Amino acid sequence: MRYKKFIIKGFKGISEDIEFNIAKESIIPIIGKNESGKTTCLEAIFSFDYSNDDENDGKHLKNFENLYSTIETPVAVVAEIYIDDEEKLIGVFQNKLKIYESEFNARFPDTIIDVLSHEVEEENEITNRHFVKAYQLLHGNVIGSKNSVKITRDLRSQKYTIDLLGNLLSKDELNELAIEFVVRLPYILFFDDFRDRIPERVYIVQEEDESRYSKWIKYIEELFIQTNEGYSVYDLPIKSDSIRRSIVKEVEKKLNKILTAEWTKYQFDNSDDIQIKMEYQSLETPYLQFKVVEKILINGSWEERYFDLHDRSKGFYWYFNFMFKLHFNPNKRNRTDIDTIYLLDEPGSYLHSFALNKLAEQLKRLSTNNKVIYCTHFHNLLNPDFIPINSIRIAEKINQGKIALRRLDESQLLRSSKNSPFQPILDALEVKPPVFEYNYDNIILVEGIYDYYSFKMFTSSFFSYFPCVSASSIINQIPYMVFLGKQYLALWDNDDEGRARIQKAKELFGPSEANRFLLLDTISETQVTRLEELFDTNEIANFNTTKMKSKTVSLYKVIIELFFSGNKQELIDHFFPITKNNFAKIEQLLKAQLEKAQILTSSN
The highest-confidence range among 37-46, 220-229, 426-435, by mean pLDDT, is 220-229
Phi, psi of 255 (to 5 degrees): -60, -50
Rounded Cα–Cα distance for residues 34 and 603 (Å):
47
pLDDT in tens, 123-161: 778 898 899 999 989 988 888 777 889 999 999 999 999
pLDDT at 566: 75
Under 8 Å between Cβ of 151 and 162 = yes
pLDDT at 198: 84
pLDDT at 524: 58
Render 137-196 in DSSP notation, one character per residue.
HHHHHHTTSS--EEEEEETTTTEEEEGGGTTTS-HHHHHHHHHHHHTTSPPEEEEETTS-
Helix residue spans in 342-386 (DSSP H):
353-366
Looking at the chain, the whole-number percentage of residues with pLDDT higher than 70 is 87
CA angle 9, 14, 16 (to 5 degrees): 65
Say which amino acid occupies 416: S
Q: Which residues contact 455 (CB under 8 A, 6 or more apart)?
A: 444, 446, 463, 465, 583, 587
pLDDT at 111: 82
DSSP label at 442?
A: S
Residue 535 has pLDDT above 80, yes or no: yes
pLDDT at 253: 94
What's the mean per-residue pLDDT of the chain? 84
pLDDT at 494: 87
Looking at the chain, the whole-number percentage of residues with pLDDT higher than 90 is 37
pLDDT at 161: 96
Helix H, strand E, coil C: the string for 459-475 is CCCCCEEEECCCCCCHH
Confidence bin at 390 (pLDDT 50/70/90): confident
Smallest CA-to-CA distance from 95 within 159, 168, 179 is with 179
Confidence bin at 64 (pLDDT 50/70/90): confident
Q: Which residue has the higher pLDDT, 268 or 359?
A: 359
Residues 374-399, mean pLDDT to the nearest whole number = 83
Residues 291-318, mean pLDDT to the nearest whole number = 78
pLDDT at 375: 92
Give pTM, 2 decimals: 0.66
pLDDT at 348: 84
The highest-confidence range among 272-281, 305-314, 398-407, 481-490, by mean pLDDT, is 481-490
The highest-confidence range among 32-41, 142-151, 381-390, 509-518, by mean pLDDT, is 509-518
pLDDT at 110: 80
Residues 297-324, mean pLDDT to the nearest whole number = 79
Domain boundaries, the chain: 2-80+331-427, 194-327, 432-603
Total number of residues shown for the chain: 604
pLDDT at 413: 44
DSSP label at 375?
A: E
Residue 11 has pLDDT above 90, yes or no: no
pLDDT at 374: 95
pLDDT at 412: 47
Q: Which residue has the higher pLDDT, 433 or 356?
A: 356
The domain 2-80+331-427 is placed in CATH, from the list 3.40.720.10, 3.40.50.150, 3.30.750.24, 3.40.50.300, at: 3.40.50.300
pLDDT at 604: 55
pLDDT in tens, 546-570: 888 777 778 888 888 888 777 889 9
Rounded Cα–Cα distance for residues 538 and 526 (Å):
18
Q: Which region among 119-123, 254-258, 586-590 has the lowest average model confidence (pLDDT)?
A: 119-123
Residue 193 has pLDDT above 80, yes or no: no
Q: Which residue has the higher pLDDT, 147 or 374?
A: 374
